[in-house]
Amino acid sequence: MTKDQCRKLVIDIIADIAPDEDLTAVKPEVRLRDQLQLDSMDFLDIVMELRKRHGIEVPESDYMQLASLDSCAEYLTPKFQAKAS
Amino acid sequence: MKDSHYDVAIIGAGMSGLAAGIRLAHFGRKVCIFERHNAPGGLNSFYSIAGRKFDVGLHAMTNYVPPGVRGTPLGKLLRQLRIDREEFALCPQKRSRIAFRDCDLKFTNDFAVLDGEVTARFPSQADGWRALVQLVRTFDDVSLEAKPVAAREVVGRHLTDPLLTDMIFCPLMYYGSAQERDMEFGQFVIMFKALYLEGFARPLDGVRVIIRTLLEKFRQAGGERRMKCGVARIIEREGRAAALQLDDGSEVTADHVISSIGYPETMRACEPPHAAEAEANTGALSFCETISVYRQAPATWGWGDDTIIFFNDSDRFDYAQARELVDPRSGVICFPNNFDYAGGELAEGFFRVTCLANPGKWCALAEPDYQAAKAHWLGEMQRSARRFLPAVDDGVLARNLVTTDMFTPRTVRKFTGHLNGAIYGAPRKVRDGRTHLSNLYLCGTDQGFLGIIGAMLSGISMANYHILQKSAT
């Protein structure tokens, strides 16, 4: 799992949760909340979909790590790698 | 006891129970919805007589916003349930009207129309009106911990003209208030947004389109549904709902129980029953509705393009239990033909009239008297409503008439189990959904998000708040 793949995977989840958002031009370094209309219910769904689809647990104290696509990749990629190994 | 334990048992397959079920099943919970009736939908259902389909409950879905408007209840609901907007096939209203004796206010799905009508007809109230709208727009109406405040009091700080005040309250009360004469301000805000800032829509084929979408999502997510299988008793042990006794006498258990059947109805189902709590918070407001089916659309003979008309002819609008069987002084007219179906149209004309009723009196009638009262009030309700429509010769209507039907509080009680046929449930809502039992929660009407979008959001919120969020952390 590369960071690029990880970003793609998070985008896939957002696309399913918020199909009414245009995700073609999401800037990876900018906070998701600042470029998309995502509320706390949507962020909770990202966390729950990560667990459902990939068995990845994100404790509440780490939710801020999911702020942007880059920070998601930074935080989640090692978790995916740990799972794969 | 094999196969009779669930992560979550949901009582009632109405809008809220189905929505809660979809969330929980989607995230892997073993869920079963228990419904006493043979049809899903609860207070917003449908039926057929002689091959003709009727909606019950839904005049119009509130909270409609056009595609692209985000951050409103409709958008939240679609996201949370992973429903594509197209699946609901919503068609917006044409226009609606609040019709009082000497004053009409038009409104549409564009708030500027109502805003303009209010400021033109009530110029002295314009500043107060703007301040009220601003307050509504910024009020946190979905807080689960909000303290109740009386809406009449808050609105009275901004609007001083009793006619305007009554006209603004009238549709909001008719479309959701379980309380007589006043509303809790949070509920006022929810309804104000739902009706005036957002708007009305309806699928061409009616409420069944929405119910079928929910059923299909629930099935796809792996949820189980047991119809004609009500929950007779919620058995308490050590502060928990330990087991559910079903109508057939069998028992199931669940880690969590969500009840959508109403607060007093849930309290009465508990074993031991909590009769005093139920008694102290039972709704008293119910309605009669008449439905007339015509060969042609009502606009054909000049009844116009109005979708919904909220009418009243008394000096002060009196939203309270009817003293007689029906209070025909005020009511709601619905013309389901008058939505913008984008080229499609209903095969027949429909004229629906809803008025406040007296549940005790309707339920006490012996069968022949009941049938006679229905026939009498069907005529009276329509006569009252027609005062607010362009005059049409009785002969024209009679020649066009195909059939009529009518529901009363007794019908509502029979098919939904709501005490008094109280469509909007208990006067005091339980916002956080908690009960005296640690694993029993309420959702739906008595949790207090209103309308069908509100009902679905209620199921979603309670599933998230009490079950999914707890295990996510």
- Mean pLDDT of all residues in B383-405: 96
Is A20's CB within 8 Å of B464's CB?
no
pLDDT at A36 > cutoff 60: yes
- Which pLDDT does position B329 carry in this prediction? 98
Beta strands in B170-325 (DSSP E): 201-203, 224-226, 231-237, 240-246, 251-259, 270-271, 286-294, 306-312
- Which pLDDT does position B471 carry in this prediction? 67
Is A48's CB within 8 Å of B82's CB?
no
Residue A5 to chain B, least CA–CA distance (Å): 24
- Which pLDDT does position B371 carry in this prediction? 97
Residue B236 to chain A, least CA–CA distance (Å): 32
Residues of B in Cβ contact (< 8 Å) with A19: 79, 84
Is A47's CB within 8 Å of B464's CB?
no
Please, which pLDDT band fits residue B473 given cuts at 50, 70 and 90? Answer: very low
pLDDT tens for B270-294 read 999 999 999 999 999 999 999 999 9
- Mean pLDDT of all residues in B75-80: 95
Q: Which chain A residue lies closest to B70 (C-alpha atoms)? A: A37
**Which of A16, A20, A47 lies nearest to residue B70, judging by beta carbons?**
A20
- Which pLDDT does position B310 carry in this prediction? 98
Residues of B in Cβ contact (< 8 Å) with A36: none
- Mean pLDDT of all residues in B188-214: 96
pLDDT tens for B343-390 read 999 999 999 999 999 999 999 999 999 999 999 999 999 999 999 999
Residues of B in Cβ contact (< 8 Å) with A44: 464, 468-469, 472
Residues of B in Cβ contact (< 8 Å) with A42: 79
Residues of A in Cβ contact (< 8 Å) with B84: 19
How high does pLDDT run on average in chain A? 93
d(CA A72, CA A65): 6
Instruction: Tell me how crowded residue B343 is: count the other CB atoms within 10 A of its CB.
Output: 6
d(CA B415, CA B404): 19
Q: Which chain A residue lies closest to B67 (C-alpha atoms)? A: A20
Interface A-B: count of C-beta contacts within 8 A? 39
Torsion of CA A63, A67, A68, A72, to 10 degrees: -10
pLDDT at B448 > cutoff 60: yes
Q: Are B457 and B76 in contact (CB under 8 A)?
A: yes
- Which pLDDT does position B472 carry in this prediction? 52
- Which pLDDT does position B1 carry in this prediction? 47
* CA angle at B463 for the pair B462 and B466, rounded to the nearest 5°: 70
d(CA A54, CA A6): 11
User: Backbone phi, then psi, for B124, in 5-degree steps?
Assistant: -70, -15
pLDDT tens for B450-469 read 889 999 999 999 999 999 98
- Mean pLDDT of all residues in B323-331: 98
pLDDT at B22 > cutoff 70: yes
Query: Global pTM?
Result: 0.94
pLDDT tens for B143-177 read 777 788 999 999 999 999 999 999 999 999 999 99
Residues of A in Cβ contact (< 8 Å) with B82: 16-17
Interface of A with B (CB under 8 A): 16-20, 37, 39, 41-42, 44-45, 47-48, 51-52, 59-60
How high does pLDDT run on average in chain B? 95
- Which pLDDT does position B49 carry in this prediction? 86
Preferred mutation among A33, A38, A41 to probe B, highest tally of B CBs within 10 A: A41
- Which pLDDT does position B142 carry in this prediction? 75
Residues of B in Cβ contact (< 8 Å) with A15: none
Minimal CA–CA distance to B167: which of B94, B92, B93, B101? B101
d(CA B231, CA B269): 8
Please, which pLDDT band fits residue B140 given cuts at 50, 70 and 90? Answer: confident
